[in-house]
Each structure stands twice: as C-alpha cells, then as structure tokens.
Amino acid sequence: MAERIGTLVRLRRYPVKSMAGEDLQQARLNFAGLSGDRVFAFLDPDHGPPEFPWMTGRQSHDMILFRPRFLDAPPVEQEIPDTDRFSTEVTTPEGEKFRMGDPRFTEFLEKRFDRRLRLRFSERSMTDARPISIFGLATIRALSQETNLELDQRRFRANFYVRWEKDEPFFEDTLVGSELQVGDIVTLQVVKKNQRCIMLALDPDTAASSPHVLARIFQNHEGCTGVYAAVLREGIVKVDDPIFLV
C-alpha cells in the first residue's frame, strides 16, 4: 500500500516565463508540465548564453512585477487546448495592459529593458530544468528563520507547495529518485534538487533584492532548495490532493 506523505496545499503556474504567477484550484498535468505554465517567454538573443537565452528577472528585477492572465484559460478537461485558449493579457507594474503577441508590448519591454527581445510561444512549458517544481512549506519556514525574513511562498516560484506529513524542513530533498502519486492518477518522479539563482532573492511584490537570502542558501544548502520532478502519468491535480510515496 502506498504511504501518504503529504498534501498539495498550493498550486501555481506562470503563463509568461519570469513574470508573476497565479494560484489555481486545479490544473491539467501533462508530460511537459502544467497546462499553460511558461508557454510564453522572451528571448534575449544579444546577451543570453546559448544554454539560457531567456530574458528574465535576473537581468531586470521588475520583470517579476508584470502580471499575466489568460483571457479564456484552457479547461482542465481539454488534453490539447486550442491555441486561442492561450490568449493572454499582461498588466504592467504601472497598470497599463497589453496583449501577448502585440508588437507594441515587445517594443515596450525592449525600451524598458534596453535590449532587443523576441517573443516565443510553445504549448510545452519552457521551464529551466524539469516540468514540475516542488517546495515544502516547512522548508520555507526554516529558511525564514535562517535569513531573519518572513519569506513569501511566491518568492520560490514553485508549481506545487506541499505540507509534508513529517513537517520536516528539506524533506523533499530526501525524495530524489522516488515516485510520487498526486491524487488518484498523476504520478511524478523526483529527479533532482533545484539549483537556485537570484530570482528567489527578489520580493514578489516590490522586486527589491535581498542578496543574503541566496547567500545563505549557498552557504547552508549547497545552493539548492526545492526539487524538480518529471511527469510519468498525466492527469488532473487539485489543491488538497493527497501525495503518496509509490
């Protein structure tokens, strides 16, 4: 019998890579990740290295303050959504609204960030390493104590936020190599720890940087917090789904 080891308490996706995320009550999970997660991204062809060509909050911190939303979000029942289901509106930090794909928005960002950008769309999530990122609430609590900051969950930009039954900080690290079942159907394999970058040093509401957060993670945790997972069996996940060790 599978052992219940946790509960999915928060589910998030990020329609535009490196911009603000959104909370979901349920989502379709496919082999590429959450449906609608990081389906838009901007390329920085003049500055980004070949292995990481993206324009992100690493280059300009206030990129995380842009708030995208799907105008007619793909329904979870639809395994392969129509392209128009990904139509997205983005609100700037100043409150101006643009549609993704509008050349005026790309021009707006190019002027703001002072670099040439190219928009890319892909129904397959354009993640950095693996389709799904997982973070334990106990880990956030421990990192808050280590850094003397009340760290907002959103800072870690995970897809799954989990309350583990053992409620131990960094418990997710022990699951690398394990298979997890989320709810009745979805199965994941935890494949690696998440090597962190400057993004988690940024306040999700102000983009203010706290470099000592990242420094403490490198000092105490080899630069890693949270884990990545691959999808072995597709399906729908919901907030409050139980998580089992297969």
Alpha carbon of residue 200 to chain centroid = 11
Contact criterion met (CB below 8 Å) for 24 and 11: yes
Residue 140 is predicted with a pLDDT of 97
The span from the CA of 25 to the CA of 23, in Å, is 7
Give per-residue burial for 150-180: e unless 16+ CB within 10 Å, then b.
Answer: ebeebbbbbbbbbebeeeebbbbbebeebbb
**SS3 for 211?**
helix
Residue 1 is predicted with a pLDDT of 65
H or E segment to which residue 197 belongs: none
Domain ranges for the chain, please list them. 3-245
Q: What CATH number belongs to 3-245?
A: 2.40.33.20
Helices (DSSP H) in 61-210: which residue ranges?
Answer: 103-113, 137-147
Contact criterion met (CB below 8 Å) for 182 and 243: yes
Beta bridge partners of 13: 22
Strands (E), 53-141: 67-70, 88-91, 97-99, 118-121, 132-136
Residue 47 is predicted with a pLDDT of 82
Contact criterion met (CB below 8 Å) for 49 and 36: no
The span from the CA of 244 to the CA of 246, in Å, is 6
Mean pLDDT per 10-residue segment, the chain (246 residues): 93 98 96 95 87 91 97 88 91 97 97 96 91 98 96 97 97 98 97 95 96 95 97 97 97
Model confidence pTM above 0.75: yes
Q: Which residues, other chains included, contact 93 with Cβ-Cβ below 8 Å and sequence gap of 6+?
A: 62, 65, 66
